[in-house]
Amino acid sequence: MSEIESRGYVRPEVLVPTDWVAAHLDDPGVRIVESNEDPLLYSTGHLPGAVEVDWTRDLNDPVRRDYLGREGFQALMRRLGVTRDTTVVFYGDRNNWWATYAYWVFQLFGHDKAKVMDGGRIKWVNEGRPLTKDVPSYPASDYQADERDDKRIRAFRDQVLHHVEGKKPLVDVRSPQEFSGERLHMPEYPNEGALRGGHIPGAANIPWAKAVNPEDGTFKPASELRALYENEARIKPEDDVIVYCRIGERSSHTWFVLTNLLGYKQVRNYDGSWTEWGNLVGVPIERSV
Amino acid sequence: MALPEKLNQTLETLELVPDRNERIQLLIDIAGRFEEVPPRIARRPFPPDHLVPACESQAYVFGEERPNGTLDFHFAVENPQGISAKAMAVILDETLSGAPPEQVAEVPQDIVYRVFGRELSMGKSMGLMSMVAMVANMAKKHAESRAGRS
């Protein structure tokens, strides 16, 4: 049993250790994708053979607030030389925050041959493994993408409102200051893009980074994650759960944990998140400041 | 109020590099000049009132008064992967240290977009803009304090 398998996850195969990635750097069936919060980081050096997927440029519609559609995703996959049989391995900075976001977007299009490198970029660097500034290029593929499926793992505002009215569980993964509404009370600083501070009524506040070990960025074992979400957030694997943050990026990390590591059956990420809810007219809000 | 001269020059220089990859390389080179706040100014654990709000790279800002009444700005960036925060810190230090505090106080937060371009995530832009805001607020308080002294 591997160390990751010993942690008790429901789907341990979605996580790979740095050793596994090091052994597959030249594997033509694997495409390694770096996705970062910091836009400069990839260019300072990345895993040999890794391509960059930038959330702002590569995964978003350039005009509407939405993700890219089928044609855009297909073009991206073709450019990266990814086929339907390619295993895509994501990694990135900040405890794989952006890597799990890219992973989640890929799941909207059903590319389920996808994994995340446990510990992300910092673990690879701290282990003294090689980095390169060489940007690879791969022959374009003929990837045929599915239509984007927004029903299974994505939630929209009206669905969230029904969810609230039905008193179903939500997890707000922002910081306690954002959850309480305190952060919007800092007048000389840029606001969060919302007119109101606080959180969606009934939401539990479990900041996303609680799911990782701070010393090396790896995910905590299943027993600790269960204690966090079942005891503190009071959600169970059979619950219909919606997670959210400010724009849906941090909550994709929690979506990854609940869905893949703990095996929750129905978790949706509300990517409209607080920048939508905190600006909507007439929706209920709770605040504690 | 006009931007401090050195800041304006730096922004104009950056805008001469519209190619994204070249701009990134330039900013990485700038980040390479980052020097952490000297121990005579602050030591770990850094005081929380110097922590930049909303900055995911855990940046801290410190001011040190020069004999002529202007400020030197010092920074710490606790996230070792916070390259953008380090680049921003270097630009703010090299262009605003020694500038008239009244002028620094008026530096707008959206210079961040002139440095990094518009393709910044919301969280990233908020953190970098908060660094600018913290420097400007520090200069504003210092200018008000000097006015009170005179």
Contact of B121 with chain A, judged by CB distance below 8 Å, is answered with: yes
Measured CA to CA, the distance from residue A98 to residue A36 in angstroms comes to 5
Angle between helix B83-96 and helix B20-31 axes, rounded to 10 deg = 70
Question: What local confidence, expressed as pLDDT, does residue B150 receive?
Answer: 67
Q: pLDDT tens digit string along B20-67?
A: 999 999 999 999 999 999 999 999 999 999 999 888 899 999 999 999
Contact of B27 with chain A, judged by CB distance below 8 Å, is answered with: yes
Question: What local confidence, expressed as pLDDT, does residue A184 receive?
Answer: 73
Phi and psi based region of residue B62 (left: phi greater than 0; alpha: psi -120 to 50; beta: remaining): beta
AA identity, residue A142: D
* Closest by Cβ to B120, choosing from A41, A56, A183: A56
Mutation pick from A55, A59, A189 vs chain B, by most beta carbons of B within 10 Å, is: A189
Dihedral sign for Cα A101, A106, A112, A114, please. negative
Measured CA to CA, the distance from residue A213 to residue B18 in angstroms comes to 40
AA identity, residue A265: K
Q: Which two tokens stand for residue A61?
A: 């519609």
Q: In sequence order, what are the residues at sequence separation of 6 or more whose Cβ sits closer than 8 angstroms to the Cβ of residue A195?
A: A278, A279
Q: Are B129 and A191 in contact (CB under 8 A)?
A: no
Interchain contact, A55 vs B83, CB within 8 Å: no
The mean predicted confidence, pLDDT, of chain A is 96
Q: Would you say residue A24 has pLDDT above 90? A: yes
- The verdict on whether A245 is a catalytic residue reads yes
Does residue B45 have a cis bond before it (omega within 30 degrees)?
A: yes
pTM of this structure = 0.94
DSSP letter at B78? Answer: -
Say how many CB pairs under 8 Å bridge A and B.
77
Q: In sequence order, what are the residues at sequence separation of 6 or more whose Cβ sits closer than 8 angstroms to the Cβ of residue A198?
A: A179, A180, A181, A278, A285, A286, A287, A288
**ipTM (interface predicted TM):** 0.90
Q: Would you say residue A10 has pLDDT above 70? A: yes
Question: What local confidence, expressed as pLDDT, does residue A66 receive?
Answer: 97
